[in-house]
Amino acid sequence: MVPVHFKPKGRGTMASKKTIEGNMLIAQSGGPTAVINQSLVGAVLEAKKNKEIKNIYGALHGIQGILDENLIDLKKESKTTLEAVANTPSSALGSVRRKPTPADCVAIFRVLEKYNVRYFFYIGGNDSAETTHILNEEAKKAKYPLHCFHICKTIDNDLRQNDHTPGFGSAGKFVAQAFMGDDLDNIALGGVKINVVMGRQAGFLTAAAALARQDETGGPHLVYLPERPFAMSRFIKDVKAVHKKFGRCVISVSEGIVDAKGTPIVTKGASAKEVDAHGNVQLSGTGALGDILAQEIKRKTSIARVRADTFGYLQRSFAGCVSETDAKEAFGVGAAAVKEAIGGARDGSIAIKRKPGRKYAVEFKRVPIRSVAKETQHMPAKFINAAGNNVTQAFIDYAAPIIGKLPQVGKLKRIPVRKA
């Protein structure tokens, strides 16, 4: 049941609403997630049901695999294997971070034509949507008939058009579970604990830490997001205030926090910068930001115990920590993309829309690829408190059903013994 609310104008050589027979090619791109294979398997199993799609090819390592003609036959994979792969984190087809040049596009079409590929699905985030958009536009220019679809994923939850994205729920669950345990650790030993969470431009994942809170004394006590400028002096003031109140302080901070001028805080201590093909500075895979913040607290306060952890790549690929909602929806967007293509739609990206009403429910909608490509979406103001150092209840209400069930925490009542 995938209601289609958007109908792109028919362009290129394909008759609108007419499906052509041919082969399908699917690939994965960008950072892996815990459920990106659900989308792959959702698409493959749906394609297997339809006779319009002859062969089902997987390109290894995204568009790189097309350029290298490094293709595998997904129709030869058993249902058992596919189902096991769906439940396995990281990109089963391999991934890539490569933005195609016009020359790449020409080369890609040659390969697609050679293998009679008429259905193309690219699973990824906003950069991958951009790649899909470029390919789609080039296909139109070249009058190459292609059903071209982007299937969304990103733990950052920053794709426009989407209420939330596949991958966020499971990464958020990991972050929340990590903070649950870490807050108890901080209660036991005291001091200040900083945890650096992924999120280049959007703070959703960093904010997900708030779901760990068990009561009004529970951490994270402070949440710093890329959506609000970060000032070191204000940060120190916040930490001192929380530490004075609770005798401890747990902080969730996004790797992507920037100062008022937009300069990433992490670059202030970094010796070397690394930039990927899409112009993104390397923020993950280094403990620098946590160390910068911990050093500053040690310098500016008398708090003895200050520790920083950087969750790094664990939060996107940890085996055995998946949100059921997330897994189901990730499978759904993959299947929906194929249904749309079989139904005759030329192109699009499958977005997750939340249905109005008290009970959590979503629907998948086809939207223009360019409307999710390149630019990212940020946390809305209603999710961030006025001081810019925490999230609101509205965020908790938004994220809870996506992240799903968390472990139960038992606490002693701690009834004091009367002094002898």
Min separation Cβ 286 and a second copy, Å: 6
From candidates 46, 77, 255, 347, binder to a second copy by CB under 8 A: 77
DSSP bridge pairs for 309: 195
How many residues of this chain bind a second copy (CB under 8 A)?
A: 88
From candidates 74, 152, 159, 209, binder to a second copy by CB under 8 A: 74
Min separation Cβ 307 and a second copy, Å: 3
User: In terms of C-beta density within 10 A (0-12 exposed, 13-18 middle, 19 or more buried), how is residue 238 classed?
Assistant: buried
- Per-residue tokens: 18: 């007419």
Region 143-182 residues binding a second copy, contact defined as CB under 8 A:
177-178, 180-182
Which residue bears the tokens 């959590």?
A: 360
- Using the contact rule CB under 8 A, the part of the chain among 87-95, 155-163, 227-235, 344-352 near a second copy is 87-95
- By residue count, the chain amounts to 420
From candidates 202, 294, 342, 369, binder to a second copy by CB under 8 A: 294
Q: Who contacts 328 (Cβ-Cβ below 8 Å, separation ≥6)?
A: 38
Name the DSSP class of 22: E
From candidates 206, 284, 323, 349, binder to a second copy by CB under 8 A: 284
- Alpha carbon of residue 151 to chain centroid: 12
Query: Is the distance from CB of 189 to CB of 65 less than 8 angstroms?
Result: no
From candidates 20, 72, 232, 281, binder to a second copy by CB under 8 A: 72
Q: Which helix (H) or strand (E) segment is 54 a member of?
A: strand 53-59
Catalytic residue among 104, 156, 238, 326: 156
Q: Is 156 an annotated catalytic residue?
A: yes
Region 88-127 residues binding a second copy, contact defined as CB under 8 A:
88-97, 114-115
Which residue type, as a one-letter code, is found at position 191? Answer: G
Return the number of the residue (1 or 412) whose C-beta is nearest a second copy: 412
Can residue 272 be called a binding residue for a second copy (CB under 8 A)? Answer: yes
Can residue 211 be called a binding residue for a second copy (CB under 8 A)? Answer: no
Return the number of the residue (287 or 380) whose C-beta is nearest a second copy: 287
From candidates 4, 85, 231, 396, binder to a second copy by CB under 8 A: 85
Region 308-327 residues binding a second copy, contact defined as CB under 8 A:
308-314, 316-321
Give the residue from 122, 292, 262 showing the smallest Cα distance to 200: 262
From candidates 16, 81, 263, 393, binder to a second copy by CB under 8 A: 81
Dist CA 176 CA 208 (whole Å): 6
- Alpha carbon of residue 26 to chain centroid: 19
Can residue 266 be called a binding residue for a second copy (CB under 8 A)? Answer: no
Which residue type, as a one-letter code, is found at position 17? Answer: K
CA distances from 144 to 71, 82, 111 (A): 20, 31, 12
Return the number of the residue (82 or 337) whose C-beta is nearest a second copy: 82
Which residue type, as a one-letter code, is found at position 157? Answer: N
DSSP bridge pairs for 307: 193
Region 2-41 residues binding a second copy, contact defined as CB under 8 A:
28, 31-32, 34, 37
Min separation Cβ 60 and a second copy, Å: 7
Active site residues: 156
